Amino acid sequence: MKKKRITSAAAHLAINGGPPVRKKTPPQKMLVDDAEARAVAAVLKSGRLTSLSNDTTDRFEKAFADYCGTKHCVAVNSGTAALHVALAAAGAGPGDEVVAPPYTFIATVSAIIQQNAVPVFADIDRETLNIDPALIEKKITRRTKAIVPVHLFGLPADMDRITAIAKRRGITVIEDACQAHGALYKGRRTGSMGDMACFSFQESKNMAAGEGGAIVTNSGALADKCRIIRHIGMAAKYEYVALGYNYRMPAMSAAVALAQLRKLDSFNERRARMADYYRKNLAGLPVKIYDPPAGVVSANHLFPVTLPTCGIDHTFEIYKALAAENVPVWWVYPRPLNTVEFIKNKRAYSKGCPFDCPHAAPSKVAGGGCPVADELSARTLVLATAPCYSEAVARDTVKAIRKVLPEYL
Ligand X SMILES: Cc1ncc(COP(=O)(O)O)c(C=O)c1O
Binding site for ligand X (CB under 6 A): 78-80, 104-105, 107-108, 150, 176, 178-179, 200, 202, 213
Nearer to ligand X, 83 or 166 (CB): 83
Nearer to ligand X, 179 or 309 (CB): 179
CB 149 within 8 A of CB 377: no
CB 102 within 8 A of CB 336: yes
Query: Looking at 229-351, which runs of residues are DSSP E strands?
Result: 234-236, 239-240, 288-289, 296-297, 303-306, 329-330
Cβ at position 244, least distance to ligand X in Å: 18
How far apart (Å, rounded) are the C-alpha atoms in residues 349 and 357? Answer: 10
By beta carbon distance, the residue nearest ligand X is: 79
- Alpha-carbon Rg for the chain, nearest whole angstrom, is 22
Nearer to ligand X, 26 or 149 (CB): 149
Nearer to ligand X, 79 or 102 (CB): 79
User: How far does the chain reach from its first CA to its final CA, in angstroms?
Assistant: 8
Cβ at position 104, least distance to ligand X in Å: 5
Directed axis angle between helix 79-89 and helix 220-230, to 10°?
120
Nearer to ligand X, 67 or 201 (CB): 201
Contacts of 237 (CB under 8 A, 6+ apart): none
DSSP structural state of residue 236:
E
Nearer to ligand X, 333 or 355 (CB): 333
Neighbours of 187 (CB within 10 A): 8
Cβ at position 110, least distance to ligand X in Å: 9
Cβ at position 271, least distance to ligand X in Å: 15
Nearest in space to 68 (alpha carbons), one of 264, 293, 203, 224:
264
Nearer to ligand X, 78 or 116 (CB): 78
CB 352 within 8 A of CB 346: yes
CB 163 within 8 A of CB 314: no
